[in-house]
Amino acid sequence: MPKRFRKMLGFLCCLVMVVTLMPTSYAADNDNIEDAAAANETKAAMFGTPELGSNDPLWSQTMEHHINKSTVPTDPRPHATGTARILWDHDYLYARVVVNDSNLYQGAGGDHRYDSLEFYVGDGSSGSNQWRVSATGVFSGQAAPGRAAWTQITDTGYIVEMRIPKRDLILQEGNLTFEVYINNSTEKGADRYEVVSCFGIPDAAYTSSDSFTDSLQLISATELDTRFSITATAGPGGRITSVPPGDVLRVDQDSDKEITFTPDSGKVVDTVTVDGEIVPLSAGTYTFTNIEADHTIHVTFKNDPDASILPFIVWNDNFASGEYTTAVIIDLGEGKAALGSELRPDLFALSVRNTTLNGEAVTLEGPRKITRVYANDEPKVRGYVGPVSNSPDYRDGLASGRYIVVESEFYSESGGNTTLDGSSNSTKQVYTLSQKGQIVLTEGNPLHNVVFEQEKVVNPILDKFATFTDHSVNRSLYLHKDEDGNVMKGLPLYVYTHGMSRGGTNAAADQKAAMKSANGSVALMKKMAQNPEKYASHILNISYNGVSVPSTQNVKKVIDALIASGEVDPNRVYAAGFSWGGQYTNNLVNSYPGFFAAAAPMAPVSGSPNAAANDAHNTLAYWMFLNAHNVGGYQTNLNNFINTNMPKMINARASRFESNEVLTWPYNQFDQPNLRPNPANTPVLADYIAHEVEAAVLYNEITMGTWSIAPTAQSSNLPAWNNDYTDVFDWMFAQRKPVVPGAPSGFN
């Protein structure tokens, strides 16, 4: 027994003896002494490597820590509490957390709005070391090689065992800055109302680790673990059965262990490598005997020589909240056609293994639910089915076709997973499609033994953008073309700037990441597809890391070049942006007064046209949007605009609205109580939810039933609002820069 624990045990024994001799009232007044002593004890994590999902015996040997510090201790709704046990080795930290939660959400949502756990390792600044896993095992937050988790729903809540990569930390005996949070939502999900911490201030770790600095002491093992590890991994095309999350089995010394390989349909075992050496294989198993050391085993799979090979593409599509993978599309080949009446979801199994762009870390893994399968005569989707209503562009499949569209559920009542990783970077979408039944063709024999191989990933919207980095401006550019493929001249230009962190961490190489979350450029592309005559335009989407926006001077050079080429109408240059991008929109307007025809910042961090000091802003069409519950400086900034600059403008508006519900498909199929204020909650709408106005403002109509972002303030000369425009783009594209008599075209 460690010296520290012997001292504590002796102290507690003495304490019990003293209390038995005290008067009852005195003992009652001091019934928290033992708790206080425990609180002063050094919080420890023991050295050891557990097998995830097995309730490994090492967990009972390391200290238990209580998770009970709530952000809303007096809230009447059910509270979540838990206990955590921490282990470590030289490569990973391990945590086993048992959570008590009486209104548990058990769906697919994985971010902080759902019942989940968050772990912070090291400095907590900006969430750079934040790891998250939901009660049902959905990862979000950071991704790195080796991340793994096992989860289980219980009668009283859930259990999570998590393996956390060390990244650039050196794990050794001594102090470690560490924190565990429970995110607590209702059973509906997407409505987190409580954060519960273990070591420090709850819900503060994202910006600061001050309250849990050196919260843990990493200590050596109390007993020698004589077991060995077998690391068992499989390549694509099959799996190793009965391998725990993280692929590490812990086995007793001198024991035997059989490893079983299971190929997917159309695949067979190729090679098996044990400790770096290829071993002969006569069956679908390999057995380690008389184990006396750690081992590795890796199996690869290959196509069955008798199988047919068919390519498929992964189809990504954009909606208000971002980019989702919605389908895979099989190409049967020239002259072949599937019989549409014989296609159904149970003919296929679909799974995903998305990774970071470098392939090092898995960001999303698991099966995908297939919603419908149909034939088409071109490699495209024909809209989507929904659990309540189908998409507005829905069409039935064809009676026959060369292409088989396997559509998957991408959004449900619990939400959906965009293609981004936890740091808003693009990912590789890697899909596995397996055959479960025969494919009936219009002519010839049915297809029985098929291997489907992923060919490429397509996005019908984002693939139309080209990327650039010159002029120190990381950007994506869409140039609208006529039916002959020629870039059209004299069109409006829409300049959009995303919010802080929406551009990921490598904007110079991943310029389109910003368009894979809620994004104004994509919103206009959707409008353009619906009404190309009205909204035909060129689009400049600016991308940046963190808050490192490009200089307005450099962006102006890019715009000027498009005007000089004749592609852009100098009197119809529009700007919009969200949050930090809203502030940047204001910076553009103020840097070049009189240049822009219209600007629409959403929840801008600061700024507005400095019309009180510069008459050039007098005629600018300008509209600021802000949710009423986005507190602090955002409200101050809006008020300053209304009181200081709007009185000097003749075409300015401001909207302060209540709800951030998105009323377009697929979101309009479901109630969204977490996106609208509730007087019974404190606050009535969480600030981080209130801030996210981008999707609702750009995708909804200005008034939809009782929902509205109609102006709550406007220039005094404007007539009272009377549903003058259907949506923000309808307003924007109606604006043109007033022509100054005698001035050259593009006067600024």
Mean pLDDT per 10-residue section of the chain, whose length is 748 residues? 35 34 32 42 94 97 98 94 98 97 90 94 70 92 89 98 92 95 93 95 90 95 96 93 95 97 92 96 90 97 94 98 98 98 97 92 91 98 96 98 98 90 93 95 95 97 97 97 97 98 94 97 97 97 96 98 98 98 98 98 98 96 98 96 98 98 96 92 90 98 97 97 96 88 46
CB 109 within 8 A of CB 115: no
Q: Reply yes or no: is the peptide bond before residue 711 cis, omega within 30 of 0.
A: no
Pairing of strands 621-627, 598-602: parallel
Task: Report in angstroms the alpha-carbon separations of 701 from 204, 526, 661.
Answer: 36, 13, 12
Q: Is the dihedral of CA 454, 459, 460, 465 positive or negative?
A: negative
Helix/strand/coil for 376: strand
**What SS3 class is residue 414?**
coil
What CA–CA distance (Å, rounded) separates 514 from 501?
9
Three-class SS of residue 642? helix
Q: Look-up: residue for tokens 């990244």?
A: 167
356 lies in the same domain as 436: yes
CA torsion sign for 545, 551, 552, 558 is negative
Q: What is the DSSP letter of 604?
A: -
In-domain check, residue 48: yes
CA 485, chain centre distance (Å): 35
pLDDT of residue 423: 87
Helix (H, G, I), strand (E, B) or coil at 472: helix
Instruction: Tell me, yes or no, whether 726 and 647 share the same domain.
Output: yes
> How far apart are alpha carbons 458 and 441 in whole angstroms?
26
CATH assignment of the domain containing 468: 3.40.50.1820
447 domain-assigned? yes
Q: Select from 252, 285, 303 the last residue of a domain.
A: 303
Query: Which amino acid is it at 267?
Result: K
How many Å apart are CA 478 and CA 466, to the nearest integer?
A: 7
DSSP conformation letters of 309-363: EEEEEEEEEEETTEEEEEEEEEE--TT--EEGGG--GGGEEEEEEEEETTSSSEE
Across-strand partners of 65? 84
- Alpha-carbon span 638 to 728, nearest angstrom: 18
CATH code assigned at 122: 2.60.40.1190
Count of C-beta atoms within a 10 Å radius of residue 117 = 25
Contacts of 452 (CB under 8 A, 6+ apart): 266, 309, 310, 311, 312, 330, 433, 434, 435
What's the number of CA atoms in the CB half-sphere (13 Å) around residue 280?
1
User: Using CA atoms, how far apart are residues 198 and 70, in angstroms rounded to an integer?
Assistant: 9
In this structure, are residues 421 and 356 in contact, taking their beta carbons and an 8 Å threshold?
yes
Residue 282 lies in a domain: yes
Euclidean distance between CA atoms 335 and 402, whole angstroms: 8
Q: Which residues contact 81 (CB under 8 A, 6 or more apart)?
A: 66, 67, 68, 99, 100, 182, 196
Strands 44-47 and 216-219: parallel
Identify the pLDDT of residue 39. Answer: 52
Residue 339 is assigned to a structural domain of this protein: yes
Cα–chain-centroid distance for residue 662?
18
**469 and 419 co-located in one domain:** no
| Contact assessment for residue 173 and residue 128, using Cβ atoms and an 8 Å cutoff | no
What tokens were used for 332? 């049967």
Could you tell me if 47 and 31 lie in one domain?
no
Q: Which two tokens stand for residue 81?
A: 């509490």
Same domain, yes or no: 164 and 106: yes
Do 398 and 415 sit in the same domain of this protein? yes
Which among 460, 491, 509 is the end of a domain? 460
**Distance separating alpha carbons of residues 683 and 76, to the nearest angstrom:** 13
Could you give the CA distance from residue 238 to residue 216 in angstroms, rounded to a whole number? 40
Q: Could you say which of 460, 488, 505 is where a domain stops?
A: 460
For residues 556 and 426, membership in a common domain is answered with: no
Q: What length is written for the chain?
A: 748
Same domain? For 297 and 158 the reply is no
Asked if the structure places residue 369 within a domain, the reply is yes
| Residue 481 falls inside a structural domain | yes
Closest CA to 312 of 463, 448, 452: 452
Separation in Å, CA 531 to CA 395, 524, 527, 566: 19, 10, 6, 23
Q: Which of 627, 582, 619 is nearest to 600 (CA)?
A: 582
Q: What is the largest CA-CA distance in the chain?
A: 101
Q: CA 422 to CA 425: how far, in whole Å? A: 7
Look at residue 741 and tell me if it is in a domain.
Answer: no
Decide: 335 and 393 in contact? Cβ < 8 Å.
Answer: no
With beta carbons less than 8 A apart as the criterion, state whether 195 and 184 touch: yes
pLDDT reported for residue 33: 34
Q: Within this chain, do residues 13 and 88 fall inside the same structural domain, yes or no?
A: no
Q: Do 315 and 285 share a domain, yes or no?
A: no
| pLDDT for the residue 23 | 33
Query: Is residue 361 domain-shared with residue 456, that is, in the same domain?
Result: yes
* Domain of 289, in residue numbers: 228-303
| Tally of domains within the chain | 5
Residue 743: inside a domain: no
576 and 721 belong to one structural domain: yes
Q: pTM to 2 decimals?
A: 0.84
